A = this chain, B = another copy of it.
C-alpha cells in the first residue's frame, strides 16, 4: 500500500535540503518519491491512502545519537515521588506501585523531598503499605534512600550495625534504624536488593521506546547502561523485544568496554543485526564528568590549582583499545568531556585512521564537550564524529565558567566551529540525564540558552535551525552507521518520519519551543499519535 503525504515536507534529501516539498509518497516500509503533488498523484492506486498534513510539518524521524534506553525506562517505570507534597501523598504513590508488582520484586524509585512534609519518612510508613518486599527510594538529591524494615533485615542492618565509612544509618531515640540511609550507607543496601528480572528490564525498555516515539524519535544509538543496570541484560531485553516484533523503535546498540574482547574473539563485527536492532560498536570512557569535576583537562581547573581531573585510561591504554577494536571490525564511541580526554582520544584514533578507513569503520567521540581550539579541526580531518548533547548546555555552562574560566569555556559545545571545520555532528539527548526530546537539544543548539532567557552563551557557536535539524536526523543516522537507509526521506530509504505541529525551520523560536509531535511513523507504520488519512 502507498501513502501520499501532502503539506509542508522537509525531506532533507540531496537537492531538497534547503526547502520544503509539497508531497511525499511512501510504499510499504519505504519512501518512493517526493516532490510536487501533481507529479506524484498519478502513481496512486486504488487502496492507497492520502494524508493531508494541514498546517503541520513533516520531517524525517529524529535520530537520537546518544541515549541510555533501559535506565531511561526505569525512570519511567519506577515509582516517581517527585512533587509529592506530603508524606501521605508519597505513601499513596508507593502503595499504588506495590499493588502492580509481582511478589518478591523490588520496589524502586525516588525523587522525594521531605522539605515540606510534616516529618521525615520512616521504615514504618513503608511497612504499612509494602511489608515483605525489598524497597529502595532515593531522595531527590540522591544522597539518601528510604527503605522498609524488611530491606534493612535483608541487608543485615540492626541497631548494632556501625555507620559505614562516609555514611550514616539514621536512628530513632531508642537507637533503632529509622529506614533512612545516607551516602556511604546506601551501596550495601542496594547490593542486597534482588536483581532486576528480565521482565522488568523489558517493561522499562518498552516504556523508554514509547517515550522516544512520543518525542518523534524513530532511531537511537543506545550508549550502554549506567553502572546501576546490567547492560548485558539490557541488550538481551532489546533482542527479546525485537524477536517478538515489539520493538517499534530502531536501535543501534553500543556495548561496554568489557564486551570488546568477547566480540572480537567470537568474530562479531559492527553492523550485525537488522533495521530494527543492530550492533553499533563498543563504548569506552576516556574521562569522567564536569559535574563531578572528573573531566580530564589540559590545564588546571580554574577553581582548583594543580588539579586536572581524572583520566580513565592512559594514552597507551586508549591506543591499545582502539587497535583491538579496529582489528575486530568494531566502531568505537568514546566518552570524552575534558579537552585532555578529547585530545588523547583524537591522538589514538589518528594513529589507527588508515586501518579504520580500510575496514569501513566510523568512530565517535561522545560529548566532545570542552575542546582545545587546536583540536576542533581534527574531528573533520580525522573523520571522527562529534556526538554532542546540546541540552546539557544550560546545566553545564555555569560549571564550565567555574571550572574553566571564561576564556577556556569559549570552545565548550563548540558546535559551529566543529561544523565549519567539517566535523560530522550528531545530536543526542543523553536521556535519562535530560528528557528524550530532540527538540530540546535543537533549541539549545540554536539558541544556546533556555527558552525565555535573555542572553545566549557564546552565541557564535550556535547552529542554524537547518544545521541542528540535520544533526538530529541525517547526520545522526550517519554517525550511527544507518545513514544509507535512514535520516532523510530520499527514495528507497525507510519511511521513518515525524509530523510536528510547527515549522521548526521557520526561524521563529516559538516554533521550536512549542512544536508538538503529532505523529511518528517508523517503516511506514504509525507508532505514535494520529494521522487522519482518506482513501484515494
Chain A contacts to B: CB under 8 angstroms: 28, 45, 231-233, 235-236, 239, 243, 255, 258-259, 262-263, 265-269, 271-275, 277, 279, 329, 360
Beyond A239-B272, A263-B266, A273-B273, 20 extra complex contacts between A and B, CB < 8 Å: A45-B45, A232-B266, A233-B267, A235-B266, A236-B329, A239-B269, A239-B271, A243-B360, A255-B266, A258-B265, A259-B266, A262-B263, A262-B265, A263-B268, A266-B266, A266-B268, A272-B273, A272-B277, A272-B279, A274-B274
Nearest B-chain residue to A234, judged by Cβ: B267
Nearest B-chain residue to A268, judged by Cβ: B268
Q: Which residues of B contact A235 (CB under 8 A)?
A: 266-268
Task: Count chain B CB atoms within 10 A of each CB in A233, A263, A266, A271 and give the residue with the most.
Answer: A266
Given contacts A236-B329, A239-B329, A329-B236, contact A266 B262 (CB under 8 A): yes
Nearest B-chain residue to A242, judged by Cβ: B271
Output the least CB separation between A268 and chain B (Å): 6
> In the bound complex, what is the Cα–Cα distance between A353 and B186 (angstroms)?
40
> In the bound complex, what is the Cα–Cα distance between A263 and B263 (angstroms)?
7
**B269 x A272 contact (CB < 8 A):** no
- Name the one of B255, B266, B274, B360 contacting A273, with C-beta atoms under 8 angstroms: B274
Output the least CB separation between A412 and chain B (Å): 35
> In the bound complex, what is the Cα–Cα distance between A269 and B232 (angstroms)?
11
> In the bound complex, what is the Cα–Cα distance between A255 and B243 (angstroms)?
20
> In the bound complex, what is the Cα–Cα distance between A268 and B234 (angstroms)?
11
Output the least CB separation between A71 and chain B (Å): 16
> In the bound complex, what is the Cα–Cα distance between A274 and B279 (angstroms)?
12
Output the least CB separation between A491 and chain B (Å): 14
Q: Which residues of B contact A263 (CB under 8 A)?
A: 262, 266, 268
Q: Which residues of B contact A329 (CB under 8 A)?
A: 236, 239
Q: Which residues of B contact A266 (CB under 8 A)?
A: 232, 235, 255, 259, 262-263, 266, 268
**A267 x B236 contact (CB < 8 A):** yes
- Name the one of B232, B262, B269, B279 contacting A236, with C-beta atoms under 8 angstroms: B269
Task: Count chain B CB atoms within 10 A of each CB in A45, A236, A267 and give the residue with the most.
Answer: A267
6 shortest interchain CB distances as A-B pairs: A274-B274, A232-B267, A235-B267, A262-B266, A259-B266, A262-B262
| 11 A/B residue pairs, CB under 8 Å, sorted by A | A232-B265, A232-B266, A233-B267, A235-B268, A236-B267, A239-B267, A243-B360, A259-B265, A262-B262, A262-B266, A268-B279
Nearest B-chain residue to A235, judged by Cβ: B267
Task: Count chain B CB atoms within 10 A of each CB in A255, A272, A360 and give the residue with the most.
Answer: A272
> In the bound complex, what is the Cα–Cα distance between A274 and B275 (angstroms)?
8
Output the least CB separation between A256 and chain B (Å): 9
**B271 x A243 contact (CB < 8 A):** yes
- Name the one of B231, B243, B255, B267 contacting A259, with C-beta atoms under 8 angstroms: B267
> In the bound complex, what is the Cα–Cα distance between A279 and B269 (angstroms)?
12
Q: Which residues of B contact A262 (CB under 8 A)?
A: 262-263, 265-266
> In the bound complex, what is the Cα–Cα distance between A268 and B255 (angstroms)?
10
> In the bound complex, what is the Cα–Cα distance between A232 and B45 (angstroms)?
49
Q: Which residues of B contact A259 (CB under 8 A)?
A: 265-267
Nearest B-chain residue to A238, judged by Cβ: B267
> In the bound complex, what is the Cα–Cα distance between A232 and B267 (angstroms)?
5
Q: Which residues of B contact A45 (CB under 8 A)?
A: 45
> In the bound complex, what is the Cα–Cα distance between A258 and B275 (angstroms)?
29
> In the bound complex, what is the Cα–Cα distance between A274 and B236 (angstroms)?
17
Output the least CB separation between A331 and chain B (Å): 12
> In the bound complex, what is the Cα–Cα distance between A266 and B231 (angstroms)?
9
> In the bound complex, what is the Cα–Cα distance between A30 and B235 (angstroms)?
30
Output the least CB separation between A246 and chain B (Å): 13
> In the bound complex, what is the Cα–Cα distance between A231 and B231 (angstroms)?
27
> In the bound complex, what is the Cα–Cα distance between A239 and B361 (angstroms)?
13
Q: Which residues of B contact A231 (CB under 8 A)?
A: 267
Nearest B-chain residue to A30, judged by Cβ: B28
Output the least CB separation between A248 and chain B (Å): 17
Output the least CB separation between A224 and chain B (Å): 11
Nearest B-chain residue to A259, judged by Cβ: B266
Q: Which residues of B contact A360 (CB under 8 A)?
A: 243
Task: Count chain B CB atoms within 10 A of each CB in A259, A265, A268 and give the residue with the most.
Answer: A268
Task: Count chain B CB atoms within 10 A of each CB in A259, A262, A275 and give the residue with the most.
Answer: A262
> In the bound complex, what is the Cα–Cα distance between A262 and B271 (angstroms)?
18
Q: Which residues of B contact A275 (CB under 8 A)?
A: 274
> In the bound complex, what is the Cα–Cα distance between A45 and B312 (angstroms)?
62
> In the bound complex, what is the Cα–Cα distance between A267 and B238 (angstroms)?
10
Q: Which residues of B contact A233 (CB under 8 A)?
A: 267
> In the bound complex, what is the Cα–Cα distance between A275 and B275 (angstroms)?
10
Output the least CB separation between A123 and chain B (Å): 36
> In the bound complex, what is the Cα–Cα distance between A239 and B268 (angstroms)?
8
> In the bound complex, what is the Cα–Cα distance between A243 and B279 (angstroms)?
13
> In the bound complex, what is the Cα–Cα distance between A275 and B45 (angstroms)?
29
Nearest B-chain residue to A269, judged by Cβ: B239
